[in-house]
């Protein structure tokens, strides 16, 4: 653009003043387009979070508690799937699936897109009722307990955690509404979040959102982990909790997750297979079926689907 302007000026078509004015207008237009692009990306992220929240709200109304449903008192956190079958309108996901996860075991769930990983998470949270089979937590059928008590007993750290337009402290305390400031700070320390929170304008009283501070992906994840720590649930679901982070943020989030996973039953989904390598157990899904089950070393030695995925992952990520 600069070369064209200079050329036109040398031909007498444009004056030097015209060139300067033209380039100034181009620079201003470029700034505006960059701003519009960033706002669009922000809107897309917000819309994704809103869409997920609205879906959860509508699903909560579709799945009703049975009469005489009882609260679920989780003491240990064992999970059992007994002959479950489930299908969406587009086709079957699970058929006669059986799985036992002892209390305190940390399980990585692996598979290509459409293998059934996310559906498993939704069924554990009872976003859908099963037409066939049972899901038991501590030997109690989750279809016979209240949804409120079930979801209160399970902590979830998603890929894109939803933060409210409230203070940092209130966002963390969402995991335990009556939490004291000391409990909030302790959770933030464990989640590797305290240090960055202390640098914010009003520390824990800093507002988050459009009229407050914008947090990075790694900072949002650490707030979500602090929230989960405060909730202190026996069962923890990690849904791509580190996939969207840069390497520096991932190191901090991984440290926080190690603290969060201590003493809990964990089910983790990740496309980055290296993040699941240290799990007690890896379960490999393919087309809704468990095709392999074992530790990383056992499955590599077996030379099956997991070994193939491990050897062919692109840049540390599982290709769809």
As to burial, measured by CB atoms within 10 angstroms (0-12 exposed, 13-18 middle, 19+ buried), residue 12 is exposed
Q: Cα 201 to chain center, whole Å? A: 27
What pTM does this model have?
Answer: 0.75
Q: Tens of pLDDT along 124-181? A: 999 988 889 999 999 999 999 998 889 888 998 887 888 888 899 999 998 888 899 9
- Whether pLDDT at 231 is above 60: yes
C-alpha span between 307 and 318 (Å, rounded): 12
pLDDT at residue 198 in the model: 93
| pLDDT above 90 as % of the chain | 26
Looking at residue 295, its pLDDT comes to 92
Pairwise pLDDT comparison (226 vs 49), residue with the higher score: 226
Q: Helices 247-261 & 181-190, crossing angle to 10 degrees?
A: 120
Cβ atoms 234, 153 nearer than 8 A: yes
Whether 273 contacts 110, CB under 8 Å:
yes
What are the residue ranges of helices labelled H in the chain? Answer: 2-10, 16-62, 117-124, 147-152, 168-173, 181-190, 194-198, 217-231, 247-261, 296-302, 305-312
User: What does the pLDDT read at residue 159?
Assistant: 79
**Is pLDDT at 96 greater than 50 in this prediction?**
yes
Q: What angle do CA 234, 239, 241 make, to 5 degrees?
A: 100
pLDDT score, position 270 = 81
- Which phi and psi (to 5°) does residue 125 adopt? -85, 0
- Domain map (residue ranges) of the chain: 1-62, 74-312
Residue 174's CB: how many other CB atoms inside 10 A?
Answer: 17
Identify the pLDDT of residue 88.
82
* Range list of H helices, 63-144: 117-124
Distance CA 205, CA 203 (A): 5
What pLDDT does residue 262 have? 87
Q: Quick one: which of 23, 91, 20 has its CA closest to 288?
A: 91
Quote the mean pLDDT of the chain: 80
Checking if the pLDDT of 205 tops 90, the result is: yes
Position 286 scores a pLDDT of 85
Vertex 82, ends 268 and 121: CA angle to 5°?
25
Which among 56-70, 86-100, 204-218 has the top mean pLDDT? 86-100
Can you give the pLDDT at residue 186? Answer: 92
* Per-residue pLDDT tens digits for 35-91: 666 555 555 445 554 555 455 444 444 678 888 888 887 888 999 999 998 888 767
Give the residue ranges of DSSP H helices in 63-205. 117-124, 147-152, 168-173, 181-190, 194-198
Our CA angle for 194, 198, 201, nearest 5°, is 140
Query: How confident is residue 315, by pLDDT bands cut at 50, 70 and 90?
Result: very low
Quick one: pLDDT band at residue 4, thresholds 50, 70, 90? low
Architecture of domain 74-312 in this structure: 3-Layer(aba) Sandwich (3.40)
pLDDT score recorded for residue 164: 85
């Amino acid at each position: 653009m600069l070369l064209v302007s200079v050329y036109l000026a040398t031909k007498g078509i444009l004056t030097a003043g015209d060139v300067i004015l033209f380039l100034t207008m181009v620079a201003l237009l470029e700034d505006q387009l960059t701003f519009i692009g960033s706002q669009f990306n922000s809107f897309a992220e917000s819309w994704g979070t809103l869409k997920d929240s609205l879906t959860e709200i509508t699903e909560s109304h579709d799945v009703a508690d049975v009469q005489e449903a009882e609260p679920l008192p989780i003491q240990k956190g064992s999970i059992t799937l007994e002959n479950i079958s489930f299908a969406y309108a587009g086709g079957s996901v699970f058929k006669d699936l059986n799985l036992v996860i002892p209390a305190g075991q940390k399980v990585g769930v692996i598979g290509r897109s459409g293998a059934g990983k996310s559906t498993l998470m939704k069924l554990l949270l009872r976003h859908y009722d099963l037409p066939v089979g049972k899901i038991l937590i501590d030997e109690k059928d989750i279809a016979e307990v209240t949804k409120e008590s079930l979801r209160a007993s399970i902590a979830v750290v998603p890929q894109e955690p939803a933060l409210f337009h409230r203070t940092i402290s209130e966002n963390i305390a969402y995991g335990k509404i009556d939490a004291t400031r000391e409990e909030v700070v302790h959770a933030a320390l464990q989640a590797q979040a305290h240090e960055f929170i202390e640098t914010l304008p009003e520390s824990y009283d800093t507002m988050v959102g459009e009229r407050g501070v914008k947090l990075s992906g790694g900072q949002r994840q650490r707030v979500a982990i602090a929230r989960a720590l405060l909730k202190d649930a026996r069962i923890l679901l990690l849904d791509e909790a580190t996939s969207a982070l840069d390497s520096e943020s991932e190191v901090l989030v991984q440290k926080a997750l190690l603290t969060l996973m201590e003493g809990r039953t964990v089910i983790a989904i990740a496309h980055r297979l290296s993040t699941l390598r240290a799990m007690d157990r890896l379960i490999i899904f393919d087309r809704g079926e468990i095709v392999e089950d074992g530790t990383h070393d056992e499955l590599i030695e077996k030379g099956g689907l997991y070994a193939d995925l491990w050897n062919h992952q692109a840049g540390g990520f599982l290709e769809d």
